[in-house]
């Protein structure tokens, strides 16, 4: 397998502070989480011994080619805590002409890359935070929000009668990450509402939204929560995040209760 070389697309590495040491991260499993997203689970050297991570945090991954060229990208963590045989699950969207995501997509169990983290102190959520919880994702921006939802659904949050609204915007339904798990959560937990907006085309019999996010949609889904000061997390491509945050502020939600994570693009 070829690691990107000097001639592939370049990506400036913007390291502003010491993010911790690079660790060996060995692939445990790879599974399609959506038509365009691969869920890759890694066992990461010393991860749990050093305290693991919190929902919402991300890691940097680094690939090094034989000639020493390095490519580095950030990826959010999809799992709230380590599993039996893995520490970190990433959900990597395939960008056909990308430098790093196609490489990550072809990784096989047993192969290793470098990883450092966890990174991020602002875009995190814990079960000790007040109700309700509003999650807004554009495309693979679902990844860190899944970590939050999974923590909410876990035994760690047992008994929490928290209302959760998860608004997800996607081009088409095949791009919905963790579709079976989300359907199961919806069935099991009446306090979790998952609203999906498809922007390109809809399947037959679709009962969700078939348009881009807008004020009317947000008012319907979360307008009633204004008075209860929800914690709001928005993640996805930069323009999506800005549009969603502006809509929520326009509806009267407090800017201080809105946390955002931008994937670029």
Ligand X SMILES: Cc1cc2nc3c(=O)[nH]c(=O)nc-3n(C[C@H](O)[C@H](O)[C@H](O)COP(=O)(O)OP(=O)(O)OC[C@H]3O[C@@H](n4cnc5c(N)ncnc54)[C@H](O)[C@@H]3O)c2cc1C
Q: Give residues in contact with ligand X (CB under 6 A).
A: 9, 11, 58, 73-76, 91-93, 95, 97-101, 140, 143, 237, 261, 263-265
Closer CB to ligand X, 134 or 146, in the complex: 146
Closest CA to 250 of 211, 213, 215: 215
Residue 117's nearest CA partner among 150, 151, 73 is: 73
Beta carbon nearer to ligand X, 7 or 97: 97
The two structure tokens encoding residue 26:
């060995």
Token output for 254: 């407090």
For ligand X, which is the closer residue by CB, 65 or 191?
65
Which H helix or E strand runs over 197? strand 192-198
Shortest Å, Cβ 94 to ligand X: 8
Whole-number Å distance between alpha carbons of 89 and 43 = 9
CB-nearer residue toward ligand X: 132 or 265: 265
106-to-29, 207, 265 alpha-carbon distances in Å: 11, 35, 22
> Minimum distance between the CB of residue 41 and ligand X, rounded to whole angstroms?
14
Nearer to ligand X, 178 or 221 (CB): 178
For the bound state, the minimum distance from the C-beta of residue 120 to ligand X, rounded and expressed in Å, comes to 7
Show the 3-state SS of 176-195. Answer: CCCHHHHHHHHHHCCCEEEE
Distance between CA atoms of 243 and 246, rounded to whole angstroms? 5
**Quick check: 151 and 157 in contact, CB under 8 A?**
yes
Distance CA 94, CA 201 (A): 20
Please state at what angle helix 215-222 crosses helix 238-250, rounded to 10 degrees.
70
- The C-alpha atoms of residue 90 and residue 107 are separated, in whole angstroms, by 12
Name the residue nearer to ligand X (CB basis): 23 or 162. Answer: 23
CB of 245 to ligand X, least distance (A): 16
**At closest approach, how far in Å is the CB of 162 from ligand X?**
24
Instruction: Please state the closest distance from residue 130 (CB atom) to ligand X, in A.
Output: 25
Nearer of residues 167 and 222 to ligand X, judged by Cβ: 167
Closest distance to ligand X from the beta carbon of 115 (Å)? 13
Q: Are 23 and 47 in contact (CB under 8 A)?
A: yes
């Amino acid at each position: 397998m070829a690691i990107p070389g000097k001639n592939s697309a370049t990506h400036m590495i913007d390291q502003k502070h010491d993010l911790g040491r690079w660790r060996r991260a060995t692939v445990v499993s790879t599974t399609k989480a959506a038509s365009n997203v691969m869920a890759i689970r890694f066992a990461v050297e010393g991860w749990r011994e050093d305290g693991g991570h919190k929902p919402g945090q991300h890691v940097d991954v680094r690939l090094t080619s034989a000639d020493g060229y390095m490519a580095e990208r950030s990826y959010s963590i999809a799992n709230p805590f380590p599993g039996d045989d893995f520490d970190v699950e990433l959900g990597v969207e395939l960008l056909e002409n990308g430098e790093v995501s196609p490489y990550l997509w072809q990784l096989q169990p047993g192969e290793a890359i470098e990883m450092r983290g966890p990174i991020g102190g602002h875009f995190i959520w814990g079960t000790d935070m007040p109700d309700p919880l509003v999650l807004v994702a554009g495309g693979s921006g679902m990844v860190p929000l899944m970590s939050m939802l999974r923590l909410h659904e876990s035994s760690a949050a047992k008994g929490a009668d928290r209302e959760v609204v998860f608004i997800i915007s996607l081009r088409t339904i095949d791009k919905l990450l963790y579709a079976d798990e989300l359907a199961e959560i919806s069935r099991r937990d009446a306090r979790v509402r998952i609203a999906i907006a498809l922007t390109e085309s809809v399947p037959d019999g679709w009962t969700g939204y078939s348009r881009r996010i807008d004020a009317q949609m947000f008012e319907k889904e979360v307008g009633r929560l204004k008075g209860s000061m929800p914690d709001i997390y928005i993640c996805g491509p930069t323009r999506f995040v800005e549009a969603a945050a502006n809509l929520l502020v326009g509806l009267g939600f407090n800017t201080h209760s809105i946390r955002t994570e931008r994937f670029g693009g």
